Amino acid sequence: MNIVAVTACATGVAHTFMAKRVLEDAAAKQGYQIKVETQGATGIENELTQSEVDQADIVILAVEVGIAKRERFEKVKKVEIPISTAIKNADGLLEKIKEKLQT
């Protein structure tokens, strides 16, 4: 599975980067490709291109705040979740997404 994600918390510091790390770790463990863009106090880092978004099987928006350039995701399959869900259970989240995509 090819995944792209955006993480963004209210302060744009700790949870943004914690979510990035756990999503990357869970994807690697399950053998998936993932690229995670962070939108935090320092702005957008590791920015997703439209091509990367369009080629993804799913977009994960693990966000607590409005995000910049949201229009990139209008025409693709996506799931939007609280950032805490990604941090607490990234493995379970990816399993649920896999099940949904297979149906």
Length of the chain: 103
Name the DSSP letter for residue 7.
E
Closest CA to 23 of 97, 102, 100: 97
Residues with Cβ within 8 Å of 11's Cβ and at least 6 positions away in sequence, in order, are 41
9 is catalytic: yes
Strand partners, 24: none
Q: Which is the catalytic residue, given 3, 9, 34, 94?
A: 9
The angle, 0 to 180 degrees and rounded to 10, between the axes of the packed helices 14-30 and 83-102 is: 30
- Active-site annotation, residues: 9
